[in-house]
C-alpha cells in the first residue's frame, strides 16, 4: 500500500497538518515539520516496505503499560504493518518528532485524521513524546540516543534469523552529543550490521542552535571514522535522498545526513530563532500573524482556530 | 568441611545455553572475569562481543529481545546498572524484554573498591517495575540460576558468584520460594547471597549458647512471598535479624521491614549490612569483618535483639574460608 500521493504531496500534507494542529493548540513542534517532512514522507511513501496496518485507523485509548497483569498489551508498531521477515522496521529515534510522524501516518493512509486530534490528550495513546504504544512506535525513544542501538540489536537478530527485511532509524543530529550514538555506530561496524539511518541535521536542539550549546564538528567525518558509510545531502531534495539511499554500504551501517532548514516552508518561524524546539505563541497577535504567513507559505486558507 | 566448587557458572552456563538457538551470550570486555571465556571459544556463533560500551549493550539487547532472542548479559553487576540505568529502564525493563542480566562480583566480593562494588543494586532493581531479582548464595544456586532466570517472562537481575564457591544446598533455585535452613523459635534470621554462609557458621555457636534460630535464605528477592515470611515471623519469640551483602536501605532488610510494617507486626527488626556507607577495596573476609557483614556481626545483632550477652568469639565460629585474593587463575582478581 503506497504511492497514492507523490512524496512531495505527502511532505506538504504533513506540514499542513502539523501547522493546523499547532494553530489550534497555540503552538507545537512546527520546526520539526519544516525540517523533517521530506524525510518521513520519503520513508513511508517510498523507502520502507511495509504491510497494511494491523491496528484500528482511529487509535484506541491508552491501554496500560507492559506488565504481567496486562496480557493484552501491544505497541503502536501495528500502524507500520506486521513484523514479518521480509518487511522493514522503522524506529523514530527522537520521539519528540512524534507529531510529525503521526501526521505522516495520516498522509499515507495508515491512521485516520481523528488520531492526530487525540495528540497529547489525557487518556490518549497518541502521546506528545511518542511512547511505544503510540501509533507507529515500537519502543520508547523519548530518552535520546538509544534508537540506533535498538536498531542494531534488532538487525543483528534479524540477520541471524535470515530475515530479508531492513531496519531503518530516523535520527536527529542532537543525538550525536550522546555517547551512546557512537557506541552504537562502532558496534554496527564491528558486527557488520547494515542498519540504515536518515538523520535530520537541522542544527537545532532544545536550548537553541547546536553550535551555541555543544559544537559537534564534522559529524560526517566522525561517522566515517567510527566505521559507517555516511552521505550528506540536502534534506529537502528528494532526488538527492533517493540517491544517498542507494549508496553501497556492505557490512557497514549507512547514515544519511539530511541537512535541513528549520524554517523550510514556514519562513516566519525564523523570528523565533534560536528557540525552535517547541514554538508556543506568546500573544494573540503573534498567533494570528503566524497563521496568515504560514498558511500563505503552505498555500492554504488560514486556520479558523476559534472554534 | 564444606565442598568448594570451582567456577560453577562456567560449566552451568555452557550446559544451559550451548545449542539453544534463542540464547545469545553478550559480553562487555569482562569475558574471562565472568567465566564465559570457554563458552566464547567453544561456541563463538552464540557469543556477541560488545566491548566496553554498556549503554549500547543494554539497548542492543532490547533490540535482540524484539527479534525474539533471550540474551544473557555478562559483566560486573556494578557496570550493568550505574552507567546504563536509563537504557536498562527504557530498552529492557519497560518493554519486559527477556534479558538475563548476569551481574558478577556482588557487593564486597570484589577487592576493586567503590567503582567495582555493586552495593545498592538490589534497592535499585526492587524499585523497577517488571524486574525479577535473583541472588546466588552457593554453587548449587549458581548452577541453577540460568534455568531459573530463563524461565521468567521478562527481565531478570542476577547476582552471580564466581570462582571457588561453596556448596551449601542440594536443591536448585525454585523461583519465588525461600529456603528454610533452620526452624527454631527464638529469632528469625533472614539472609541472602554470601551472608547465608556466615549465618550458617554462626548458628552452631548460637545453638550452644541456647538460642534457637529460624533461618531463611532468599534466592528470589523479587517477586517475594510475603505471607510465607509472616508465618515464619509468627513462629519466633523475639524478632528478626537480616544480614545482606548490600546497603541496609532498599535490600533484603528493607523488604522484611516493609513486609512487617504492611502487616502491622510489632516485633523488632535488626538490619545488618552496609550501614549507609560505601566500602573500599580489600579481601572479602576483611571487608565482611570491617563492615559488619560476617558471622560475628550476626552474633552481635542477635545479642542486641534478645538482650542476651553471648560469650561467642571468632574461635567459636566455624572456620572461616579465606580465599586468596590474588591467584594464578585471576592475577588481578578482577
Total tally of structural domains belonging to chain B: 2
List the single residue in A66, A143, A184 with the smallest CB-CB distance to B95.
A66
Residues of chain A with pLDDT under 50: none
Q: Does A82 contact B at CB distance below 8 Å? A: no
Size of interface A-B (CB pairs under 8 A): 109
Q: Which of B51, B66, B84 has the most A C-beta neighbours within 10 Å, making it the best mutation to test the interface with A?
A: B66
Inter-chain touch A150–B91, beta carbons under 8 Å: yes
Asked if B37 and B161 sit in the same domain, the reply is yes
Return the closest-CA partner of residue A276 out of A204, A173, A214, A216.
A204
Handedness of CA A301, A302, A303, A305 (dihedral sign): negative
Which of B141, B167, B193 is the last residue before a domain boundary? B167
The alpha carbon of residue A156 is apart from the nearest alpha carbon of chain B, in Å, by 7
Q: Which residues of B touch A146 (CB under 8 A)?
A: 55, 59, 86-87, 90-91
For the residues B6-18, what does the mean pLDDT come to?
A: 98
d(CA A235, CA A240): 8
Same domain, B109 and B212: no
Asked, for residue B200, whether it belongs to a domain, the answer is: yes
Provide the pLDDT for residue B317. 86
Q: What is the pLDDT of residues B85-137, one digit of tens each?
A: 999 999 999 999 999 999 999 999 999 999 999 999 999 999 999 999 999 99
Is B131 inside a domain boundary?
yes
Residues of B in contact with A183 (CB under 8 A): 51, 53, 55-56
Q: Does A204 touch chain B (CB under 8 A)?
A: no
Q: Which residue range is the domain that position B302 belongs to?
A: 178-316
In this structure, the strands spanning B156-160 and B132-135 are parallel
One domain, residues B117 and B47:
yes
> Does residue B46 register a pLDDT over 90?
yes
B218 plus B72 within the same structural domain: no
Task: Read off the pLDDT band of B316 (50, 70, 90).
Answer: confident
Q: Is residue B218 part of a domain?
A: yes
Residues B147 and B7 in one domain: yes
Asked whether residue B326 is assigned to any structural domain, the reply reads no
Burial class (CB in 10 A: 0-12, 13-18, 19+), B53: buried
pLDDT for residue B2: 84
Chain B partners within 8 Å of A180 (Cβ)? 55-56, 59, 87
Closest CA in chain A for residue B93: A66
Alpha-carbon distance of A89 to A154, in angstroms, equals 9
- pLDDT band with cut points at 50, 70 and 90 for residue B322: very low
Residue B331, pLDDT above cutoff 70: no
CATH code of B68's domain: 3.40.50.970
Residue B266 touches chain A, beta carbons under 8 Å: no
**Cα separation, B180 vs B295, whole angstroms:** 18
Whether residue B302 is found in the same domain as residue B238: yes
Average pLDDT over residues B37-64: 98
Cα distance between residue B161 and residue B109, in whole Å? 8
Q: Could you tell me if residue B328 is inside a domain?
A: no
One domain, residues B145 and B242? no
Q: Do A146 and B86 touch (CB under 8 A)?
A: yes
B325 confidence band (pLDDT: 50, 70, 90): very low
Instruction: Identify each DSSP E strand in B184-238 by its residue range.
Output: 187-192, 213-218, 220-222
Q: What percent of chain B has pLDDT over 90?
A: 90
Domain boundary among B167, B191, B216: B167
Let me know whether B82 and B226 are in one domain: no
Question: Cβ distance B87 to B128 under 8 Å?
Answer: no
- The pLDDT assigned to B315 comes to 85
User: Per the CB < 8 Å rule, is B55 touching A149?
Assistant: yes
Of A172, A174, A262, give the one whose Cα is nearest residue A212: A174
Residues B10 and B157 in one domain: yes
Task: Find the closest chain A residue to B26 by CA distance.
Answer: A153
10 Å Cβ neighbour count for A181? Answer: 29
Residues B160 and B286 in one domain: no
| B204 in the same domain as B152 | no
Find the CATH number of the domain harbouring B267: 3.40.50.920
Ordered by where they begin, the domains of chain A are: 7-57+77-298 (3.40.50.970)
Q: Do B96 and A143 touch (CB under 8 A)?
A: no
Do the Cβ atoms of B55 and A180 come within 8 Å?
Answer: yes
DSSP state string for B230-272:
HHHHHT-SSEEEEEEEEESSSSHHHHHHHHHHHHT--SEEEEE
Distance from CA of B128 to the nearest CA of A (A): 12
Same domain, B182 and B258: yes
Residues of B in contact with A76 (CB under 8 A): none
Report the sign of the C-alpha dihedral through residues A125, A72, B87, B71, in that order: negative
Once rounded to an integer, what is the mean pLDDT over residues B148-154?
A: 98
Residue A48 is classified by DSSP as -
Where is the domain boundary, B142, B167, B192?
B167
Amino acid at each position: 500500500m503506497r504511492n497514492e500521493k507523490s512524496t512531495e504531496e505527502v511532505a506538504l500534507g504533513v506540514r499542513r497538518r502539523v501547522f493546523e494542529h499547532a494553530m489550534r493548540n497555540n503552538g507545537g513542534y512546527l520546526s520539526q515539520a519544516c525540517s523533517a517532512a521530506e524525510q518521513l514522507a520519503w520513508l513511508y511513501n517510498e523507502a520502507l516496505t511495509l504491510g497494511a496496518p494491523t491496528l484500528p485507523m482511529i487509535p484506541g485509548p491508552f491501554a496500560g503499560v507492559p506488565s504481567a497483569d496486562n496480557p493484552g498489551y501491544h505497541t503502536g508498531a501495528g500502524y507500520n504493518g506486521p513484523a514479518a521477515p521480509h518487511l522493514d522496521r522503522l524506529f523514530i529515534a527522537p520521539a519528540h518528532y512524534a507529531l510529525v510522524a503521526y501526521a505522516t501516518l495520516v498522509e499515507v493512509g495508515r491512521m485516520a485524521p481523528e488520531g492526530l486530534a487525540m495528540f497529547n490528550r489525557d487518556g490518549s495513546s497518541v502521546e506528545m513524546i511518542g511512547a511505544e504504544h503510540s501509533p507507529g512506535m515500537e519502543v520508547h525513544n523519548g530518552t535520546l540516543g538509544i534508537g540506533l542501538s535498538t536498531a542494531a540489536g534488532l538487525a543483528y537478530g534479524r540477520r541471524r534469523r535470515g530475515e530479508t527485511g531492513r531496519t531503518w532509524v530516523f535520527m536527529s543530529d542532537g543525538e550525536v552529543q550522546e555517547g551512546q550514538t557512537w557506541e552504537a555506530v562502532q558496534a554496527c561496524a564491528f558486527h557488520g550490521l547494515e542498519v540504515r539511518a536518515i538523520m535530520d541535521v537541522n542544527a537545532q536542539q532544545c536550548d537553541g542552535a547546536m553550535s551555541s550549546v555543544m559544537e559537534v564538528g564534522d559529524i560526517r567525518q566522525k561517522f566515517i571514522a567510527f566505521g559507517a558509510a555516511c552521505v550528506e545531502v540536502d534534506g529537502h531534495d528528494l532526488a538527492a535522498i533517493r540517491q544517498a539511499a542507494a549508496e553501497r554500504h556492505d557490512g557497514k551501517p549507512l547514515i544519511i545526513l539530511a541537512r535541513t532548514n528549520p524554517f523550510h516552508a514556514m519562513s516566519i518561524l525564523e523570528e523565533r530563532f534560536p528557540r525552535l524546539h517547541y514554538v508556543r505563541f506568546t500573544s494573540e497577535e503573534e498567533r494570528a500573524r503566524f497563521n496568515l504567513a504560514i498558511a500563505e507559505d503552505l498555500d492554504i486558507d488560514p486556520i479558523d482556530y476559534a472554534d | 568441611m564444606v565442598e568448594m566448587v570451582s567456577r560453577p557458572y562456567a560449566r552451568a552456563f555452557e550446559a544451559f545455553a550451548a545449542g539453544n538457538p534463542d540464547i545469545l551470550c553478550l559480553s562487555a570486555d569482562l569475558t574471562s572475569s565472568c567465566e564465559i571465556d570457554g563458552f566464547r571459544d567453544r561456541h563463538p556463533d552464540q557469543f556477541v562481543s560488545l566491548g566496553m560500551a554498556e549503554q549500547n549493550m543494554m539497548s542492543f539487547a532490547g533490540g535482540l529481545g524484539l527479534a525474539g532472542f533471550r540474551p544473557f548479559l555478562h559483566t560486573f553487576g556494578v557496570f550493568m546498572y550505574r552507567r546504563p540505568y536509563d537504557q536498562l529502564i527504557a530498552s529492557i525493563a519497560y518493554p519486559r524484554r527477556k534479558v538475563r542480566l548476569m551481574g558478577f562480583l556482588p557487593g564486597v566480593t570484589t577487592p576493586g573498591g567503590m567503582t567495582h562494588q555493586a552495593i545498592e543494586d538490589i534497592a535499585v532493581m526492587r524499585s523497577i517495575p517488571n524486574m525479577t531479582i535473583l541472588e546466588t548464595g552457593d554453587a548449587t544456586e549458581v548452577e541453577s540460576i540460568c534455568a531459573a532466570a530463563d524461565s521468567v517472562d521478562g527481565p531478570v537481575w542476577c547476582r552471580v558468584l564466581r570462582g571457588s564457591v561453596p556448596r551449601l544446598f542440594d536443591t536448585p533455585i525454585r523461583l519465588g520460594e525461600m529456603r528454610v535452613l533452620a526452624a527454631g523459635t527464638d529469632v528469625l534470621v533472614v539472609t541472602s547471597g554470601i551472608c547465608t554462609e556466615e549465618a550458617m557458621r554462626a548458628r552452631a555457636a548460637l545453638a550452644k549458647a541456647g538460642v534457637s534460630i529460624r533461618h531463611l535464605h532468599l534466592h528470589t528477592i523479587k517477586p517475594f512471598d510475603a505471607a510465607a515470611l509472616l508465618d515464619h515471623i509468627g513462629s519466633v519469640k523475639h524478632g528478626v535479624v537480616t544480614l545482606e551483602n548490600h546497603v541496609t536501605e532498599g535490600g533484603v532488610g528493607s523488604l522484611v521491614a516493609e513486609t512487617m510494617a504492611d502487616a502491622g507486626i510489632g516485633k523488632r527488626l535488626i538490619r545488618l549490612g552496609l550501614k549507609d556507607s560505601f566500602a573500599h577495596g580489600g579481601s572479602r573476609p576483611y571487608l565482611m569483618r570491617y563492615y559488619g557483614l560476617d558471622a560475628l556481626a550476626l552474633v552481635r545483632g542477635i545479642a542486641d535483639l534478645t538482650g542476651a550477652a553471648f560469650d561467642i568469639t571468632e574461635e567459636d565460629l566455624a572456620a572461616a574460608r579465606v580465599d586468596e585474593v590474588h591467584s594464578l587463575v585471576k592475577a588481578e582478581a578482577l
